[in-house]
Amino acid sequence: MELLRIEEECFGAERFSTEIVRAFIVRADAFTVVAEDERMGRLVGSASCLISENTGEGRIASIAVINDRRKQGVGSGLLAECERILNTFRLRKYVLEVETSNMPAILMYTHREYEVVGLLKDYYGLGRDAYSMERKMSGGSRRLTVEQG
């Protein structure tokens, strides 16, 4: 599965397991989007998200872009597509975690109006902290109600 190849290249030992990758594909409250290099016929990136209509949150669990395609807009495109899909659920906010040393990703998120809301010590292992980031959406969640008449 090409998604596993991307996970391995981008995250090594910290990659999602086969079961987790599969869950993002088959679960009703999750989805995965991919970026494909049509000339080469291979995937160059992926992003996986979870949806919680109960809490009104969309979680961007992972954005991964292979090394030779970074800084070419692939990650931004994946993020935009995730947000487009999440928008259909009319959620209150989108949340994510990012390693504090990952400045390209942090800049990408802040450019898309995500704000740092917390620091998670040792989130990625001893001495590897993460920022908790979120983007609040205007309008928030809405539930459809039907009146009997």
Summarised one tens digit per residue, pLDDT across range 6-23 is 888 888 778 888 888 888
What is d(CA 116, CA 23) in angstroms, rounded to the nearest whole number?
A: 28
In a domain, 111, yes or no: yes
> Residue 47: what are its φ and ψ, rounded to 5°?
-145, 140
Please state the domain count of the chain: 1
**139: confidence class by pLDDT, cuts 50, 70, 90:** low
Rounded distance, CA 75 to CA 97, Å? 15
Confidence at residue 142, expressed as pLDDT on a 0 to 100 scale = 40
Work out the average pLDDT over 119-129.
92
Examine the pLDDT at 51 and tell me if it is beyond 90. Answer: yes
Calculate the alpha carbon distances from 135 to 20, 28, 78, 82 in Å: 25, 23, 16, 13
Using CA atoms, how far apart are residues 137 and 127, in angstroms rounded to an integer?
Answer: 32
Q: What is the pLDDT of residues 31-49, one digit of tens each?
A: 999 999 888 888 899 999 9
**pTM of the predicted protein model:** 0.84
90/147: higher pLDDT: 90
Please report whether residue 143 resides in a domain.
Answer: no
Distance of alpha carbon 55 from alpha carbon 39, whole angstroms: 41
Read off the pLDDT of residues 78-87 as tens digits, 9 standing for 90 and up: 999 999 999 9
Judge whether residue 29 has pLDDT over 60. yes
Burial status of residue 145 (CB atoms within 10 A of its CB: 0-12, 13-18, 19 or more): exposed
Domain span holding position 17: 2-136
Mean predicted confidence (pLDDT) in 138-149: 46
**Where residue 45 sits, what CATH number does that domain have?**
3.40.630.30
- For residue 63, pLDDT over 90 is answered with yes
Amino acid at 90: R
